[in-house]
C-alpha cells in the first residue's frame, strides 16, 4: 500500500501540488476513445483526491469542453481549496483546419468560459495549450497577467514552448510551470527546454509520462485500443517502429521485475526522481491503474538504477516520431517579435480565404510548408483532384496587411476587396479572387 502522497513546490511563485497529478483528458471522449460513464469517472476523480492526488489537469479542448464540465461536477463533492486545478486554452481546432489562438480577446473569452464550465471562482494554473505563431507571446502574456490581477487565475503556465518563448513570456509575468511530453519514451526536451525551466525556477509538468500508455501494456496496447483510438496512427506504434520499441519495452519490463514493480511504475518513478519541481500527470479511466500509478511514488531508484534505465531509453532509442506530423507542427513554434504587433489589425476572427488551384497532379508539400513558415499563416487545407489540387489558405487581415511574403506571392483583385464598416467589421463577399503573382 502506498504511503501518503507528499506535496511539492511547482515553480517559484508559491504553488504547491501533489507530487503526481491526474491527467483528466481520457475521462471524457478523447483521442484515446469514446466517453465513459460519467458517474464512474467522477468516482475516479474523488478517489484520486482522497488518495492525495490533488493536482487535476484538464483543458477546454478536451471533450471538447465536456472534460471541464465533468471536472466541475466532480468538484461539487470536494473542498475547493484541497484541489489544485489546471486547465488550458489556445487550441480552437485540430480537425479540418488547425486553429491556434493566443490573441488577448480569445484568451479572456476562454478563461471566462472555463470558469463557468468548471463552476469555480478561480483557476489555480492556467496554461497556454499551444503557442500561436502569429501573436507575440508578450501580447498573450499581457492579457494573462491582467487575469491574474483580477483574481480569475492564480498562476500561469505554457505548454510545448521553446526556450526563447519561455524566456520572453517569463519577462512579462512569472511562468509557474511548463507542460511538455517527457518520459523514458520521449527525452527530446532534456537538451534545452528543461535546463531553461531549471534556470528560471519554473516547474515542469510531464504529460504522457507513460508513453501514451506504452509502458502500461507494451506492444499489447495496440490490441486493446478501440476503433476510435487515434494512437493507432502514432508513428511509434507502426510496423518496424513497433517491433523495435517492443524490444526496449522488454528490457524495461525485466528491470521492473527486479525492482518488484510494474513497467509503468518504473517509468513514473524515473520522472519522480528527476529532482525538485517535477509533477507528472498520468491519465487513466481505470481505478486499478490509478492505484498502480500512486504506488509508483513508493518506488525507490538508486543512481545505478537511473543510469541503467537511461542507457536503455536513450534520447533517440525509441523509433518513430513522438506525435503525428499535424500535432508536431504545432509544438515548439516561435512567435513574432513584439515590435511586429499592430493593435490596429487584431481582428483575427475575420479571415481572408484563398482557394488557390494549382495545375499539377501532386502538391509539393515541402514548398508549401516553407511558405507557411515564412508567412506565419495557418496550415493549409489541401484538396486533391485528378489533374490539380486546391490549396485553401486562410489568414487574418492583420497578416495580409503586414506580411510582405503574402504581398509578393498573391495580389488581391481590388474589385472584390472586403469593405470595413464603422465598427471595424469586415464585410467580405462570398469569395475572394487572388492572382498568383508569378
Q: What are phi and psi of 179, to 5 degrees?
A: -95, 135
Tell me the CA distances in angstroms from 381 to 225, 363, 378, one per residue in order. 29, 11, 9
What is the CA 171 to chain-centroid distance, rounded? Answer: 22
Q: Is the dihedral of CA 287, 293, 294, 299 positive or negative?
A: positive
The DSSP string of 381-398 is EEEE-SS-EEEEEEEEHH
Question: Helix axis angle, 193-200 relative to 163-172, nearest 10°?
Answer: 20
Q: Among residues 62, 126, 155, 207, which one is catalytic?
A: 62
Residue position matching grid coordinates 470595413: 420
Known catalytic residue at 207: no
176: part of which helix (H) or strand (E)?
A: strand 175-181
Cβ within 8 Å of residue 195, ≥6 positions away: none
Cβ pair 203, 274 in contact under 8 A: no
Q: Give the separation between CA 153 and CA 132, rounded to whole angstroms.
A: 20
What's the rounded Cα separation, in Å, for the pair 284 and 333? 29
Q: What are phi and psi of 84, to 5 degrees?
A: -100, 105
DSSP reduced 3-state for 187: coil
Nearest to 431 by CA among 394, 403, 404: 394
Q: Strand, helix or coil at 336? A: coil
Are 329 and 126 spatial neighbours (Cβ–Cβ below 8 Å)? no
* Block residue for cell numbers 501518503: 4
Compute the distance between CA of residue 36 and CA of residue 28 in angstroms, rounded to an integer.
6
Known catalytic residues are 62
Amino acid at each position: 500500500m502506498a504511503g501518503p502522497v507528499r506535496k511539492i513546490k511547482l515553480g517559484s511563485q508559491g504553488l504547491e501540488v501533489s507530487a503526481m497529478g491526474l491527467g483528466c483528458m481520457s475521462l471524457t471522449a478523447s483521442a484515446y476513445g469514446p466517453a465513459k460513464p460519467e458517474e464512474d469517472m467522477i468516482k475516479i476523480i474523488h478517489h484520486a483526491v482522497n488518495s492525495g492526488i490533488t493536482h487535476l489537469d484538464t483543458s477546454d479542448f478536451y471533450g471538447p469542453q465536456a472534460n471541464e464540465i465533468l471536472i466541475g461536477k466532480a468538484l461539487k463533492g470536494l473542498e475547493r481549496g484541497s484541489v489544485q486545478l489546471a486547465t488550458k486554452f489556445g487550441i480552437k481546432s485540430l480537425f479540418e483546419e488547425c486553429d491556434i489562438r493566443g490573441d488577448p480577446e480569445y484568451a479572456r473569452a476562454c478563461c471566462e468560459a472555463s470558469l463557468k464550465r468548471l463552476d469555480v471562482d478561480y483557476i489555480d494554473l492556467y496554461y497556454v495549450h499551444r503557442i500561436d505563431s502569429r501573436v507575440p507571446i508578450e501580447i498573450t502574456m499581457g492579457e494573462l497577467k491582467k487575469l491574474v490581477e483580477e483574481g480569475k487565475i492564480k498562476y500561469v503556465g505554457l505548454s510545448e514552448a521553446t526556450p526563447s518563448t519561455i524566456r520572453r513570456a517569463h519577462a512579462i509575468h512569472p511562468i509557474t510551470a511548463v507542460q511538455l511530453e517527457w518520459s523514458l519514451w520521449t527525452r527530446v526536451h532534456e537538451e534545452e527546454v528543461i535546463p531553461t525551466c531549471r534556470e528560471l525556477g519554473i516547474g515542469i509538468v510531464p504529460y504522457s509520462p507513460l508513453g501514451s500508455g506504452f509502458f502500461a501494456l507494451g506492444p499489447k496496447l495496440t490490441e486493446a485500443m478501440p476503433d476510435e483510438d487515434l494512437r493507432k496512427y502514432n508513428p511509434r506504434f507502426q510496423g518496424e517502429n513497433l517491433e523495435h520499441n517492443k524490444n526496449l519495452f522488454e528490457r524495461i519490463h525485466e528491470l521492473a521485475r527486479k525492482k518488484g514493480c510494474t513497467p509503468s511504475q518504473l517509468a513514473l518513478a524515473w520522472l519522480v526522481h528527476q529532482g525538485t519541481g517535477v509533477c507528472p500527470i498520468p491519465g487513466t479511466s481505470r481505478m486499478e491503474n490509478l492505484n498502480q500509478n500512486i504506488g509508483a511514488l513508493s518506488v525507490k531508484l538508486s543512481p545505478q538504477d537511473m543510469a541503467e534505465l537511461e542507457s536503455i531509453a536513450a534520447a533517440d532509442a525509441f523509433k518513430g516520431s513522438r506525435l503525428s506530423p499535424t500535432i508536431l507542427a504545432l509544438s515548439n513554434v516561435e512567435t513574432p517579435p513584439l515590435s511586429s504587433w499592430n493593435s490596429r489589425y487584431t481582428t483575427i476572427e475575420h479571415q481572408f480565404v484563398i482557394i488557390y488551384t494549382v495545375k499539377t497532379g501532386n502538391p509539393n508539400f515541402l514548398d508549401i510548408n516553407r511558405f507557411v513558415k515564412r508567412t506565419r499563416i495557418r496550415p493549409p487545407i489541401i484538396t486533391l483532384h485528378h489533374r490539380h489540387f486546391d490549396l485553401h489558405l486562410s489568414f487574418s487581415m492583420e497578416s495580409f496587411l503586414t506580411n510582405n511574403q503574402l504581398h509578393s506571392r498573391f495580389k488581391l483583385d481590388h474589385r472584390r476587396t472586403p469593405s470595413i464598416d464603422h465598427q471595424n467589421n469586415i464585410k467580405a463577399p462570398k469569395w475572394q479572387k487572388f492572382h498568383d503573382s508569378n
